[in-house]
Structure 1
Amino acid sequence: MARIRTVKPEAFVSESLAEVSVEAERSFFGLLTQADDHGRHRDNAAIIAGLLWPLRAEHTSVHVEDDLQQLANAGLICRYTGCDGRRYLHIVTWSEHQKIDKPSQSRLPSCPQHHAADRCGPCKGTCTKRTETSTPTRGLAETSPNTPRALDLPAQPASTPSASQSEALTAQQDALVGLAGIPDHTGRKTAGQTAFPEGSPKPPRNLGEGSAPGSRILDPGSSFPTGRTAPAATVSADQLVGEYIAACDERPPSDVIGHLGRIAKKLLAEGIAPEHIRAGLQNFATNPKHPSVLTSMVNEAMNARSAGLARPGIRPTVPAHQAWTNPVDAAAAYAEEL
Structure 2
Amino acid sequence: MARIRTIKPEAFVSESLAEVSVEAERTFFGLLTQADDHGRHRDNAAIIAGLLWPLRAEHASVHVEDDIQQLANAGLICRYTGCDGRRYLHIVTWFEHQKIDKPSQSRLPSCPQHHAADRCAPCKGACTRRTEESPTPTRALAETSPNAPRAIDLPAQPAPKPPAPGNGAPSARQDTLDGMVDIPSHADKETAGQDVFVEDSSNSPRNLEEGSAPGSRILDPGSSSPTGRTAPAATVSANQLVGEYIAACDERPPNDVIGHLGRIAKKLLGEGIAPYHIRAGLRNFAANPKHPSVLTSMVNEAMNSRSAGLARPGARPNVPAHQAWTNPVNAATAYAEEL
Pick closer, same or farther for the CA change 1:137–1:191 going to 2, 3 Å. Answer: farther
One-letter code of the match for 1:213? S
Which deviations, in whole Å up to 9, do the C-alpha atoms of 1:180-204 show, x marking residues without a partner? Answer: 45744279xx999459xxxxxxxxx
Q: Which residue of 2 aligns with 1:185?
A: 159
CA contact (8 A) 2:11 2:17 kept: yes
Q: Normalising to structure 1: TM-score of the pair?
A: 0.53
Alpha-carbon separation, structure 2, partners of 1:265 and 1:127: 40
Measure, in 1, the Cα distance between the counterparts of 2:157 and 2:142: 13
**Aligned ranges 1:94-243 → 2 under 5 Å:** 94-132=94-132, 133=134, 143-147=144-148, 177-181=151-155, 183-185=157-159, 193=200, 210=220, 212-214=223-225, 236-238=244-246, 241-242=249-250
CA distance in 1, matches of 2:66, 2:12: 21
8 A Cα contact 2:219 2:226, kept in partner = no
Aligned to 2:330: none
Q: C-alpha distance in 2, partners of 1:264/1:191?
A: 72
Secondary structure at 2:79's aligned position in 1? Answer: strand
Cα distance in 2 for residues equivalent to 1:277 and 1:38? 44
Q: 5 Å matches for 1:286-305? A: none
Q: Percent identity?
A: 63
- Separation of aligned partners in 2, 1:124 and 1:45: 27
d(CA) in 2 for partners of 1:143 and 1:264?
Answer: 63
Counterpart of 2:2 in structure 1 is 2
Equivalent position SS for 1:66:
helix
* Residue 191 to residue 17, structure 1, CA distance change in 2 (3 Å): farther
Q: 1:104 to 1:193 in 2, by over 3 A?
A: farther
Q: State the partner residue of 1:157.
A: none
Q: Note if contact 2:45-2:62 (Cα within 8 Å) is conserved in structure 1.
A: yes
Asked if 1 retains the 8 angstrom alpha-carbon contact of 2:218 and 2:228, the reply is: no
The correspondence for 2:262, drawn from 269, 278, 283, is: 269
Deviation at 1:28, TM superposition (A): 1.1
Contact 1:108 1:122 in 2 (8 A): yes
C-alpha change, 1:261 and 1:193, in structure 2 (3 Å) is farther
Q: Secondary structure at the residue paired with 2:56?
A: coil
Query: Deviation string for 1:225-266 (max 9, x for gaps)?
Result: xx98xx9xx785435632xxxxxxxxxxxxxx55x4645533
1:30 aligns to what?
30
In the superposition, the TM-score normalised over structure 2's length comes to 0.52
Structure 1 counterpart of 2:153, one-letter code = L
Cα deviation, 1:39-59, whole Å, max 9, x if unaligned, reads 001111222122222222332
Task: List aligned pairs for 1:30-49, cutoff 5 A.
Answer: 30-49=30-49
Distance in 1 separating the partners of 2:218 and 2:74? 58
Q: Shift of the alpha carbon at 1:33?
A: 0.7
Pair 1:77 & 2:77 matched: yes
List runs of 5+ in structure 2 lacking aligned partners.
Answer: 162-196, 203-216, 266-280, 295-339
Does the CA contact (< 8 Å) of 1:147 and 1:179 recur in 2?
A: no
**1:267 deviation in Å?**
4.5
Mark the CA change 1:193 to 1:57 in structure 2 (over 3 Å): closer, same or farther: farther
Give deviations 1:252-294, integer Å, cap 9, x for gaps: xxxxx55x4645533533559867776679xxxxxxxxxxxxx
Separation in structure 2 between the aligned mates of residue 79 and residue 192 of structure 1, nearest angstrom: 58
Q: Secondary structure at the match of 1:106?
A: coil
Question: 1 or 2 for the larger relative contact order (CA 8 Å, sep ≥6)?
Answer: 2
For the residue of structure 2 that corresponds to 1:32, the secondary structure is helix
Q: Quick one: structure 1 residues 134 and 182, their matched pair in 2 at CA, closer, same or farther if it must change by over 3 Å?
A: farther
